[in-house]
Amino acid sequence: MVAKVALWIICLVPAARLSYDATTGGLGVNPIETLTHETGRTALLILIATLAVTPLRRITGQNWLIRLRRPLGLFAFFYALAHFTIYVVLDQFFAWAYIIEDILERPYITVGFAALVLLVPLALTSTRRWIRRLGRNWQRLHLMIYPAAALALLHFYWKLAAKSDVRDALAYGAALALVLALRALVALERRRRHTRT
């Protein structure tokens, strides 16, 4: 319970900071760009943290960590949705024709939108009721977090590449690669145990 409360506080800090900066003029010369960038960055960071839960639980033996996976995933979706909403409302002023054209013709927006679309069913089916209803199909469905994370990282990289500064994207990419490598090692170890028994 304490861990969940701490997680909520930590995950809400970026939103609180951005809200404070928005009301005090602390978003810089381009506040919309700052809001868009920071919500996207936060979504990607929390998405990587979500993927890190399972290997951390296996490595440390702390099974209570698994309780953090669902709220982390929902917070990743929350920030991803905020990222897209800021683009639609504040940046494009609901200009749907231009937004659709943007999604179809600009690769970094295409992959970012695809990542958000993949996260939608994961967020909608994150309740215990859906877990029971879908059974094993729930786990298959939630494998979409992998392509979603990869697409989100690619979106982030291409966006920063336009500014000729991809250091943050490379750091996030290294973190994601490490998490995926740990997950692969955990899966291999689990498979070895099954074959021995």
CATH of 2-196, one of 2.60.40, 1.20.120, 1.25.40, 1.10.3470: 1.20.120
Q: Is the pTM of this model over 0.75?
A: yes
The Cα–Cα gap between 191 and 113 comes to: 35
Place of tokens 């506040």: 31
What is the reported pLDDT for 77?
Answer: 97
| Residues 121/144, Cβ–Cβ less than 8 Å | yes
- What are the boundaries of each domain within the chain? 2-196
Q: With a cut of 90, say whether residue 83 has pLDDT above it.
A: yes
Count of residues for the chain? 197
Average pLDDT of the chain, as a whole number: 91
Q: Tell me the pLDDT band of 3, cut-offs 50, 70 and 90.
A: confident
At 7 the three-state DSSP class reads helix
